[in-house]
Structure 1
Protein backbone atom coordinates (compact mmCIF):
# COMPACT_ATOMS: atom_id res chain seq x y z
CA UNK A 1 0.00 0.00 0.00
CA UNK A 2 1.23 3.44 -0.87
CA UNK A 3 2.05 6.13 1.69
CA UNK A 4 -0.64 8.79 1.56
CA UNK A 5 0.00 12.07 -0.18
CA UNK A 6 -0.41 13.68 3.26
CA UNK A 7 2.63 11.74 4.43
CA UNK A 8 4.56 13.01 1.44
CA UNK A 9 3.64 16.59 2.23
CA UNK A 10 4.67 16.19 5.85
CA UNK A 11 7.94 14.72 4.65
CA UNK A 12 8.54 17.71 2.41
CA UNK A 13 8.01 20.08 5.30
CA UNK A 14 10.70 18.58 7.51
CA UNK A 15 14.33 19.78 7.50
CA UNK A 16 17.20 17.87 5.98
CA UNK A 17 20.29 17.09 7.98
CA UNK A 18 22.68 17.83 5.13
CA UNK A 19 23.00 21.44 3.98
CA UNK A 20 21.94 21.89 0.38
CA UNK A 21 23.41 24.60 -1.79
CA UNK A 22 20.66 26.34 -3.73
CA UNK A 23 21.27 26.39 -7.49
CA UNK A 24 21.21 29.81 -9.12
CA UNK A 25 17.72 31.09 -9.84
CA UNK A 26 16.46 32.25 -13.22
CA UNK A 27 16.87 35.95 -13.79
CA UNK A 28 14.22 36.07 -16.52
CA UNK A 29 11.05 35.25 -14.60
CA UNK A 30 8.12 36.72 -16.57
CA UNK A 31 6.13 39.47 -14.87
CA UNK A 32 2.94 37.39 -15.01
CA UNK A 33 4.66 34.55 -13.13
CA UNK A 34 5.86 36.97 -10.44
CA UNK A 35 2.37 38.45 -10.17
CA UNK A 36 0.84 34.98 -9.82
CA UNK A 37 3.30 33.99 -7.11
CA UNK A 38 2.43 37.20 -5.25
CA UNK A 39 -1.32 36.50 -5.40
CA UNK A 40 -2.60 37.15 -1.84
CA UNK A 41 -4.74 34.00 -2.10
CA UNK A 42 -1.48 32.00 -1.94
CA UNK A 43 -0.41 33.36 1.45
CA UNK A 44 -0.39 29.90 3.03
CA UNK A 45 1.93 28.62 0.26
CA UNK A 46 4.64 31.28 0.17
CA UNK A 47 6.74 29.70 2.91
CA UNK A 48 7.50 26.81 0.54
CA UNK A 49 8.17 28.82 -2.61
CA UNK A 50 11.93 29.22 -2.23
CA UNK A 51 12.56 25.61 -1.26
CA UNK A 52 10.38 24.35 -4.08
CA UNK A 53 11.93 26.81 -6.57
CA UNK A 54 8.50 27.87 -7.74
CA UNK A 55 9.52 30.83 -9.91
CA UNK A 56 12.17 28.74 -11.65
CA UNK A 57 9.81 25.85 -12.29
CA UNK A 58 7.00 28.01 -13.65
CA UNK A 59 9.48 29.78 -15.94
CA UNK A 60 10.93 26.46 -17.11
CA UNK A 61 7.42 25.06 -17.75
CA UNK A 62 6.70 28.07 -19.98
CA UNK A 63 3.24 28.59 -18.48
CA UNK A 64 1.49 31.61 -20.01
CA UNK A 65 -1.78 33.53 -19.64
CA UNK A 66 -4.63 31.98 -21.58
CA UNK A 67 -3.20 28.47 -21.65
CA UNK A 68 -4.89 25.18 -20.75
CA UNK A 69 -2.85 23.30 -18.16
CA UNK A 70 -3.11 19.87 -16.54
CA UNK A 71 -1.81 19.51 -12.99
CA UNK A 72 -1.57 15.71 -12.85
CA UNK A 73 -1.91 14.26 -9.34
CA UNK A 74 -1.85 17.72 -7.76
CA UNK A 75 -1.40 16.73 -4.12
CA UNK A 76 -2.22 19.72 -1.91
CA UNK A 77 -2.96 21.84 -5.03
CA UNK A 78 0.17 23.92 -4.40
CA UNK A 79 0.97 24.11 -8.11
CA UNK A 80 -2.70 24.27 -9.12
CA UNK A 81 -3.12 27.57 -7.31
CA UNK A 82 -0.23 29.25 -9.06
CA UNK A 83 -1.19 27.77 -12.44
CA UNK A 84 -4.64 29.27 -11.97
CA UNK A 85 -3.19 32.70 -11.34
CA UNK A 86 -0.80 32.50 -14.30
CA UNK A 87 -3.28 31.34 -16.96
CA UNK A 88 -5.89 33.79 -15.72
CA UNK A 89 -9.57 34.08 -16.65
CA UNK A 90 -8.98 33.20 -20.29
CA UNK A 91 -7.12 30.03 -19.37
CA UNK A 92 -8.04 26.80 -17.65
CA UNK A 93 -6.45 24.37 -15.20
CA UNK A 94 -7.46 20.73 -14.88
CA UNK A 95 -6.60 18.96 -11.63
CA UNK A 96 -6.44 15.37 -12.84
CA UNK A 97 -6.61 12.51 -10.33
CA UNK A 98 -6.32 8.85 -11.30
CA UNK A 99 -9.11 7.06 -9.45
CA UNK A 100 -6.65 4.59 -7.96
CA UNK A 101 -4.46 7.33 -6.53
CA UNK A 102 -7.49 9.18 -5.23
CA UNK A 103 -8.34 6.22 -3.01
CA UNK A 104 -5.00 6.72 -1.26
CA UNK A 105 -5.31 10.52 -1.13
CA UNK A 106 -8.92 11.26 -0.29
CA UNK A 107 -8.18 14.42 1.66
CA UNK A 108 -6.16 15.87 -1.21
CA UNK A 109 -8.91 15.08 -3.70
CA UNK A 110 -11.28 16.98 -1.42
CA UNK A 111 -8.83 19.89 -1.39
CA UNK A 112 -8.95 19.97 -5.18
CA UNK A 113 -12.73 19.91 -5.17
CA UNK A 114 -12.88 22.66 -2.54
CA UNK A 115 -10.64 24.80 -4.72
CA UNK A 116 -13.10 24.51 -7.58
CA UNK A 117 -15.87 25.77 -5.28
CA UNK A 118 -13.87 28.94 -4.52
CA UNK A 119 -14.79 31.75 -6.97
CA UNK A 120 -11.16 32.90 -6.96
CA UNK A 121 -10.32 29.66 -8.76
CA UNK A 122 -13.17 29.67 -11.25
CA UNK A 123 -10.80 28.54 -14.01
CA UNK A 124 -9.98 25.26 -12.22
CA UNK A 125 -11.75 21.95 -12.79
CA UNK A 126 -11.27 18.46 -11.34
CA UNK A 127 -11.20 15.31 -13.45
CA UNK A 128 -11.23 11.79 -11.98
CA UNK A 129 -9.99 9.22 -14.51
CA UNK A 130 -8.79 5.60 -14.47
CA UNK A 131 -5.02 5.43 -14.22
CA UNK A 132 -4.89 3.47 -17.47
CA UNK A 133 -7.03 6.02 -19.33
CA UNK A 134 -5.45 9.45 -19.00
CA UNK A 135 -7.53 11.92 -20.98
CA UNK A 136 -8.73 15.51 -20.94
CA UNK A 137 -11.84 16.96 -22.55
CA UNK A 138 -9.89 19.38 -24.78
CA UNK A 139 -6.36 19.74 -26.19
CA UNK A 140 -3.99 21.26 -23.63
CA UNK A 141 -0.78 23.30 -23.68
CA UNK A 142 0.96 21.68 -20.72
CA UNK A 143 0.80 18.47 -18.71
CA UNK A 144 2.75 18.91 -15.49
CA UNK A 145 3.40 16.25 -12.86
CA UNK A 146 5.56 16.54 -9.76
CA UNK A 147 6.91 13.47 -7.92
CA UNK A 148 4.31 11.12 -9.35
CA UNK A 149 5.51 9.75 -12.68
CA UNK A 150 7.16 6.91 -10.76
CA UNK A 151 3.78 5.83 -9.35
CA UNK A 152 2.21 4.79 -12.66
CA UNK A 153 3.91 1.38 -13.07
CA UNK A 154 3.18 0.35 -9.48
CA UNK A 155 0.65 -2.24 -8.37
CA UNK A 156 -1.70 0.13 -6.59
CA UNK A 157 -2.14 2.06 -9.86
CA UNK A 158 -2.80 -1.12 -11.81
CA UNK A 159 0.70 -1.60 -13.23
CA UNK A 160 0.22 0.98 -15.95
CA UNK A 161 2.58 0.64 -18.92
CA UNK A 162 4.50 3.96 -18.85
CA UNK A 163 4.79 4.04 -22.63
CA UNK A 164 1.01 3.71 -22.98
CA UNK A 165 0.53 6.47 -20.44
CA UNK A 166 3.08 8.69 -22.19
CA UNK A 167 1.27 8.22 -25.51
CA UNK A 168 -2.00 9.26 -23.88
CA UNK A 169 -0.31 12.43 -22.63
CA UNK A 170 1.13 13.01 -26.11
CA UNK A 171 -2.33 12.69 -27.66
CA UNK A 172 -3.82 15.13 -25.13
CA UNK A 173 -1.42 17.95 -26.02
CA UNK A 174 -1.70 20.57 -28.71
CA UNK A 175 1.09 20.58 -31.31
CA UNK A 176 4.05 22.21 -29.59
CA UNK A 177 2.62 21.39 -26.16
CA UNK A 178 4.82 20.44 -23.21
CA UNK A 179 5.07 17.53 -20.82
CA UNK A 180 7.03 18.51 -17.69
CA UNK A 181 8.08 15.78 -15.26
CA UNK A 182 9.64 16.28 -11.83
CA UNK A 183 10.62 13.18 -9.86
CA UNK A 184 13.01 11.72 -7.31
CA UNK A 185 16.28 10.43 -8.78
CA UNK A 186 17.12 6.73 -8.42
CA UNK A 187 20.52 5.12 -8.91
CA UNK A 188 21.85 5.25 -12.46
CA UNK A 189 20.93 2.12 -14.37
CA UNK A 190 18.18 1.09 -11.94
CA UNK A 191 15.34 1.72 -14.38
CA UNK A 192 12.02 1.27 -12.59
CA UNK A 193 13.41 -1.02 -9.88
CA UNK A 194 12.81 1.41 -7.02
CA UNK A 195 9.47 2.97 -7.94
CA UNK A 196 7.42 1.08 -5.35
CA UNK A 197 10.08 0.75 -2.64
CA UNK A 198 12.19 3.91 -2.53
CA UNK A 199 9.66 5.98 -4.57
CA UNK A 200 12.38 6.91 -7.05
CA UNK A 201 12.99 6.39 -10.75
CA UNK A 202 16.06 6.52 -12.97
CA UNK A 203 15.85 9.68 -15.11
CA UNK A 204 17.32 7.76 -18.06
CA UNK A 205 14.37 5.36 -18.23
CA UNK A 206 11.93 8.26 -18.03
CA UNK A 207 13.55 10.00 -20.97
CA UNK A 208 13.65 6.76 -22.96
CA UNK A 209 9.97 6.03 -22.31
CA UNK A 210 8.73 9.52 -23.09
CA UNK A 211 10.80 9.93 -26.24
CA UNK A 212 9.64 6.51 -27.48
CA UNK A 213 6.12 7.83 -28.12
CA UNK A 214 7.18 10.83 -30.20
CA UNK A 215 8.12 13.53 -27.70
CA UNK A 216 11.28 15.55 -28.25
CA UNK A 217 13.48 16.20 -25.23
CA UNK A 218 13.32 19.98 -24.80
CA UNK A 219 15.56 20.64 -21.82
CA UNK A 220 16.13 20.10 -18.14
CA UNK A 221 16.43 22.26 -15.04
CA UNK A 222 18.81 21.54 -12.19
CA UNK A 223 17.14 23.78 -9.59
CA UNK A 224 16.00 20.76 -7.51
CA UNK A 225 19.20 18.74 -7.78
CA UNK A 226 20.99 17.73 -4.57
CA UNK A 227 24.32 15.90 -4.90
CA UNK A 228 24.16 14.95 -1.20
CA UNK A 229 21.31 12.51 -1.88
CA UNK A 230 22.72 8.95 -2.09
CA UNK A 231 19.81 7.76 -4.30
CA UNK A 232 19.55 4.43 -2.45
CA UNK A 233 17.30 5.40 0.47
CA UNK A 234 13.59 6.07 0.66
CA UNK A 235 12.53 9.60 -0.10
CA UNK A 236 10.92 9.63 3.36
CA UNK A 237 14.20 8.85 5.13
CA UNK A 238 14.90 11.54 7.72
CA UNK A 239 18.36 12.06 6.25
CA UNK A 240 16.96 13.36 2.98
CA UNK A 241 13.21 13.90 3.25
CA UNK A 242 12.10 17.19 1.79
CA UNK A 243 15.38 17.67 -0.09
CA UNK A 244 15.75 14.68 -2.39
CA UNK A 245 17.70 14.95 -5.60
CA UNK A 246 15.05 15.63 -8.23
CA UNK A 247 15.26 15.86 -12.00
CA UNK A 248 13.09 18.28 -13.96
CA UNK A 249 12.59 17.30 -17.60
CA UNK A 250 10.67 19.12 -20.31
CA UNK A 251 9.43 17.29 -23.40
CA UNK A 252 7.74 18.89 -26.39
CA UNK A 253 5.20 17.47 -28.81
CA UNK A 254 6.36 18.36 -32.32
CA UNK A 255 4.26 21.08 -33.84
Structure 2
Protein backbone atom coordinates (compact mmCIF):
# COMPACT_ATOMS: atom_id res chain seq x y z
CA UNK A 1 0.00 0.00 0.00
CA UNK A 2 2.88 2.35 0.74
CA UNK A 3 4.19 2.83 -2.76
CA UNK A 4 2.56 4.92 -5.42
CA UNK A 5 0.24 2.82 -7.55
CA UNK A 6 0.67 3.31 -11.27
CA UNK A 7 -2.27 2.12 -13.25
CA UNK A 8 -1.95 1.96 -17.00
CA UNK A 9 -5.25 1.93 -18.86
CA UNK A 10 -5.43 0.95 -22.50
CA UNK A 11 -8.27 2.93 -24.07
CA UNK A 12 -9.51 1.50 -27.31
CA UNK A 13 -11.22 3.95 -29.62
CA UNK A 14 -12.82 2.60 -32.76
CA UNK A 15 -14.13 5.63 -34.63
CA UNK A 16 -15.59 5.37 -38.08
CA UNK A 17 -12.42 6.81 -39.58
CA UNK A 18 -10.50 3.72 -38.55
CA UNK A 19 -7.97 5.52 -36.34
CA UNK A 20 -5.45 3.40 -34.45
CA UNK A 21 -6.22 2.55 -30.79
CA UNK A 22 -4.82 5.13 -28.36
CA UNK A 23 -3.04 4.31 -25.13
CA UNK A 24 -3.21 6.44 -21.99
CA UNK A 25 -1.57 6.06 -18.60
CA UNK A 26 -3.12 7.22 -15.37
CA UNK A 27 -1.02 7.66 -12.26
CA UNK A 28 -2.81 7.77 -8.95
CA UNK A 29 -1.23 8.42 -5.59
CA UNK A 30 -1.98 5.90 -2.87
CA UNK A 31 -1.84 8.65 -0.25
CA UNK A 32 -3.28 12.13 -0.44
CA UNK A 33 -3.95 14.93 2.09
CA UNK A 34 -7.70 14.56 1.51
CA UNK A 35 -7.85 11.14 3.14
CA UNK A 36 -6.63 12.65 6.41
CA UNK A 37 -9.22 15.41 6.68
CA UNK A 38 -10.88 13.73 9.65
CA UNK A 39 -7.59 13.90 11.54
CA UNK A 40 -6.96 17.50 10.50
CA UNK A 41 -10.48 18.52 11.58
CA UNK A 42 -10.38 16.70 14.92
CA UNK A 43 -12.02 18.95 17.51
CA UNK A 44 -9.10 18.30 19.87
CA UNK A 45 -6.95 20.30 17.41
CA UNK A 46 -8.82 23.59 17.65
CA UNK A 47 -5.81 25.43 19.07
CA UNK A 48 -3.46 23.78 16.56
CA UNK A 49 -5.23 25.06 13.46
CA UNK A 50 -3.53 28.45 13.62
CA UNK A 51 -0.33 26.66 12.61
CA UNK A 52 -1.77 24.48 9.85
CA UNK A 53 -1.04 26.82 6.95
CA UNK A 54 2.70 26.52 7.44
CA UNK A 55 2.85 23.04 8.96
CA UNK A 56 0.62 21.38 6.32
CA UNK A 57 -0.75 18.54 8.45
CA UNK A 58 -2.59 16.65 5.70
CA UNK A 59 0.40 16.77 3.39
CA UNK A 60 2.70 15.58 6.15
CA UNK A 61 0.51 12.59 7.01
CA UNK A 62 0.28 11.68 3.32
CA UNK A 63 4.05 11.94 2.93
CA UNK A 64 4.50 9.76 6.02
CA UNK A 65 2.04 7.26 4.50
CA UNK A 66 0.16 6.71 7.74
CA UNK A 67 -2.32 3.82 7.58
CA UNK A 68 -5.21 2.89 9.84
CA UNK A 69 -4.16 0.37 12.46
CA UNK A 70 -0.50 1.39 12.52
CA UNK A 71 1.65 1.58 15.63
CA UNK A 72 3.37 4.97 15.40
CA UNK A 73 5.95 6.73 17.54
CA UNK A 74 5.86 10.52 17.90
CA UNK A 75 9.49 11.00 18.84
CA UNK A 76 10.10 14.18 20.86
CA UNK A 77 6.46 15.23 20.80
CA UNK A 78 6.89 18.80 22.03
CA UNK A 79 3.49 20.43 22.48
CA UNK A 80 1.59 17.51 20.94
CA UNK A 81 0.73 19.01 17.53
CA UNK A 82 1.63 15.80 15.71
CA UNK A 83 0.33 13.53 18.48
CA UNK A 84 -3.21 14.85 18.02
CA UNK A 85 -3.02 14.38 14.25
CA UNK A 86 -1.77 10.82 14.52
CA UNK A 87 -4.37 9.85 17.12
CA UNK A 88 -7.16 10.04 14.56
CA UNK A 89 -5.06 9.10 11.53
CA UNK A 90 -4.23 5.62 12.88
CA UNK A 91 -7.85 4.95 13.83
CA UNK A 92 -9.37 2.90 16.63
CA UNK A 93 -7.18 -0.12 15.90
CA UNK A 94 -3.96 1.87 15.82
CA UNK A 95 -1.76 3.22 18.57
CA UNK A 96 0.36 6.34 19.04
CA UNK A 97 3.27 6.43 21.45
CA UNK A 98 3.84 10.06 22.39
CA UNK A 99 7.40 10.39 23.69
CA UNK A 100 8.58 13.37 25.72
CA UNK A 101 12.29 13.25 26.69
CA UNK A 102 13.20 13.73 30.33
CA UNK A 103 15.87 16.16 29.19
CA UNK A 104 13.21 18.41 27.68
CA UNK A 105 11.04 18.28 30.79
CA UNK A 106 14.04 19.14 32.98
CA UNK A 107 14.75 22.16 30.78
CA UNK A 108 11.09 23.26 30.56
CA UNK A 109 8.66 21.59 32.99
CA UNK A 110 5.68 22.71 30.90
CA UNK A 111 6.53 19.93 28.47
CA UNK A 112 5.16 17.42 31.00
CA UNK A 113 1.88 19.35 31.23
CA UNK A 114 1.64 19.57 27.44
CA UNK A 115 2.12 15.82 27.15
CA UNK A 116 -0.69 15.21 29.64
CA UNK A 117 -2.95 17.63 27.75
CA UNK A 118 -2.24 15.96 24.41
CA UNK A 119 -3.12 12.51 25.71
CA UNK A 120 -6.21 13.50 27.72
CA UNK A 121 -8.73 13.67 24.82
CA UNK A 122 -7.90 10.08 23.93
CA UNK A 123 -8.36 8.58 27.41
CA UNK A 124 -11.27 6.60 28.84
CA UNK A 125 -13.67 7.76 31.55
CA UNK A 126 -11.17 6.77 34.23
CA UNK A 127 -8.42 8.80 32.60
CA UNK A 128 -6.52 5.79 31.29
CA UNK A 129 -4.83 6.39 27.92
CA UNK A 130 -6.57 4.65 25.04
CA UNK A 131 -4.90 4.72 21.65
CA UNK A 132 -2.41 7.45 22.61
CA UNK A 133 0.15 6.27 25.15
CA UNK A 134 2.52 8.76 26.84
CA UNK A 135 6.15 7.75 27.25
CA UNK A 136 8.91 9.52 29.16
CA UNK A 137 12.54 8.57 29.43
CA UNK A 138 16.04 9.53 28.34
CA UNK A 139 16.11 11.02 24.84
CA UNK A 140 18.01 8.01 23.49
CA UNK A 141 15.89 5.41 25.31
CA UNK A 142 12.14 6.06 24.98
CA UNK A 143 11.21 2.51 25.96
CA UNK A 144 8.89 1.73 23.06
CA UNK A 145 6.84 -1.25 24.28
CA UNK A 146 6.44 -2.89 20.86
CA UNK A 147 7.92 -2.73 17.35
CA UNK A 148 6.63 0.26 15.39
CA UNK A 149 5.42 0.72 11.82
CA UNK A 150 6.42 4.38 11.66
CA UNK A 151 8.32 6.91 13.73
CA UNK A 152 8.01 10.62 13.04
CA UNK A 153 10.19 13.36 14.48
CA UNK A 154 9.51 16.97 13.54
CA UNK A 155 11.91 19.87 14.11
CA UNK A 156 13.82 18.08 16.86
CA UNK A 157 16.32 15.74 15.20
CA UNK A 158 19.04 18.38 15.59
CA UNK A 159 18.62 18.21 19.38
CA UNK A 160 20.40 14.86 19.36
CA UNK A 161 23.56 16.67 18.29
CA UNK A 162 23.65 19.65 20.66
CA UNK A 163 26.44 19.92 23.22
CA UNK A 164 24.03 19.79 26.17
CA UNK A 165 23.37 16.12 25.44
CA UNK A 166 25.70 13.43 26.82
CA UNK A 167 28.48 12.27 24.54
CA UNK A 168 27.29 9.66 22.08
CA UNK A 169 23.62 10.64 22.30
CA UNK A 170 23.17 11.06 18.55
CA UNK A 171 24.70 7.70 17.64
CA UNK A 172 22.77 5.87 20.36
CA UNK A 173 19.46 7.56 19.49
CA UNK A 174 19.74 6.96 15.75
CA UNK A 175 20.49 3.28 16.32
CA UNK A 176 17.52 3.14 18.70
CA UNK A 177 15.21 4.59 16.03
CA UNK A 178 16.35 1.95 13.57
CA UNK A 179 15.97 -0.90 16.05
CA UNK A 180 12.51 0.29 17.16
CA UNK A 181 10.99 -0.15 13.71
CA UNK A 182 9.63 -3.31 12.20
CA UNK A 183 11.48 -4.52 9.08
CA UNK A 184 10.13 -2.36 6.26
CA UNK A 185 9.10 0.36 8.71
CA UNK A 186 9.62 4.05 8.05
CA UNK A 187 11.22 6.98 9.80
CA UNK A 188 10.04 10.46 8.84
CA UNK A 189 12.36 13.33 9.73
CA UNK A 190 11.50 17.01 9.34
CA UNK A 191 13.98 19.60 10.56
CA UNK A 192 15.27 23.12 10.11
CA UNK A 193 17.93 23.14 7.42
CA UNK A 194 21.39 24.51 8.16
CA UNK A 195 23.66 26.17 5.65
CA UNK A 196 25.94 23.79 3.79
CA UNK A 197 28.71 22.47 6.05
CA UNK A 198 26.99 23.95 9.10
CA UNK A 199 28.05 20.91 11.10
CA UNK A 200 27.54 20.56 14.82
CA UNK A 201 27.79 24.30 15.35
CA UNK A 202 24.55 24.81 13.41
CA UNK A 203 22.71 22.43 15.73
CA UNK A 204 24.23 23.97 18.82
CA UNK A 205 23.90 27.64 17.97
CA UNK A 206 21.04 27.87 15.47
CA UNK A 207 18.93 24.75 16.19
CA UNK A 208 19.38 23.73 12.56
CA UNK A 209 20.42 20.40 11.09
CA UNK A 210 23.31 19.95 8.69
CA UNK A 211 21.87 17.86 5.85
CA UNK A 212 24.95 15.72 5.26
CA UNK A 213 25.53 15.15 8.97
CA UNK A 214 21.96 13.88 9.34
CA UNK A 215 22.10 11.73 6.22
CA UNK A 216 25.39 10.11 7.22
CA UNK A 217 24.07 9.33 10.70
CA UNK A 218 20.86 7.77 9.40
CA UNK A 219 22.22 5.79 6.49
CA UNK A 220 25.14 4.73 8.65
CA UNK A 221 22.86 2.50 10.74
CA UNK A 222 21.06 1.07 7.70
CA UNK A 223 18.25 3.48 6.80
CA UNK A 224 17.61 4.05 3.11
CA UNK A 225 16.41 7.50 2.04
CA UNK A 226 13.24 6.68 0.11
CA UNK A 227 11.90 10.13 -0.66
CA UNK A 228 12.66 13.79 0.02
CA UNK A 229 9.76 16.24 -0.16
CA UNK A 230 9.78 20.00 -0.61
CA UNK A 231 6.79 20.50 1.70
CA UNK A 232 8.63 23.04 3.81
CA UNK A 233 11.15 24.35 1.31
CA UNK A 234 11.66 28.09 1.74
CA UNK A 235 14.60 29.13 -0.46
CA UNK A 236 14.49 32.72 0.79
CA UNK A 237 15.73 31.60 4.22
CA UNK A 238 19.47 32.37 4.30
CA UNK A 239 19.78 29.62 6.94
CA UNK A 240 22.07 31.73 9.11
CA UNK A 241 19.61 32.77 11.84
CA UNK A 242 18.56 30.92 14.97
CA UNK A 243 15.16 29.36 14.22
CA UNK A 244 13.70 31.06 17.30
CA UNK A 245 14.67 34.49 15.98
CA UNK A 246 11.60 36.58 15.21
CA UNK A 247 12.94 37.26 11.71
CA UNK A 248 12.55 33.62 10.68
CA UNK A 249 10.51 31.78 13.31
CA UNK A 250 7.84 29.65 11.70
CA UNK A 251 9.28 30.23 8.23
CA UNK A 252 12.60 28.42 8.25
CA UNK A 253 13.75 26.31 5.33
CA UNK A 254 13.16 22.67 6.30
CA UNK A 255 13.86 19.27 4.80
CA UNK A 256 11.38 16.40 4.95
CA UNK A 257 12.66 12.85 4.53
CA UNK A 258 11.02 9.45 4.53
CA UNK A 259 13.54 6.74 5.25
CA UNK A 260 12.99 2.99 5.14
CA UNK A 261 14.35 0.19 7.28
CA UNK A 262 14.98 -2.61 4.79
CA UNK A 263 12.86 -5.75 5.00
Task: Normalising by structure 1, report the TM-score.
Answer: 0.84
1:57 aligned counterpart, secondary structure: helix
Q: Is the 8 A contact 2:193 2:210 kept in 1?
A: yes
Matched, 1:163 2:171: yes
Matched, 1:250 2:258: yes
Q: Which runs of 4+ in 1 moved over 4 A?
A: none
Q: Which runs of 5+ in 1 are unaligned?
A: 1-25
Counterpart of 1:64 in structure 2 is 67
- Comparing 109-118 with 195-204, which one deviates more in the overlay? 109-118
Counterpart of 1:5 in structure 2 is none
Counterpart of 2:156 in structure 1 is 148
How far did 1:250 drift? 1.1
Distance 1:202 1:53, change over 3 A: same
Out of 137, 151, 158, the residue aligned to residue 129 of structure 1 is 137
Q: Is the 8 A contact 2:154 2:190 kept in 1?
A: yes
Q: Is the 8 A contact 1:217 1:251 kept in 2?
A: yes
Q: Any residues of structure 2 matched to 1:1-255 within 5 Å, and which?
A: 29=32, 31-119=34-122, 122-255=130-263
Q: Distance in 2 between matches of 1:30 and 1:55?
A: 4
Q: Is the 8 A contact 2:100 2:115 kept in 1?
A: no
1:156 aligned counterpart, secondary structure: coil
Give the structure with higher Rg (CA): 2
1:71 aligned counterpart, secondary structure: strand
Q: Distance in 1 between matches of 2:211 and 2:139?
A: 21
- Larger RCO (CA within 8 A; separation ≥ 6): 1
How far did 1:119 drift? 4.0
Instruction: State the number of aligned residues.
Output: 230
Counterpart of 2:14 in structure 1 is none
CA RMSD of aligned residues (A): 1.9
How far did 1:73 drift? 1.2
Distance 1:119 1:240, change over 3 A: closer
When you count strand as a share of all residues, which structure comes out higher? 2
Q: Which runs of 5+ in 2 are unaligned?
A: 1-28, 124-128
1:235 aligned counterpart, secondary structure: coil
Q: Distance in 2 between matches of 1:236 and 1:192?
A: 18
How far did 1:161 drift? 3.6
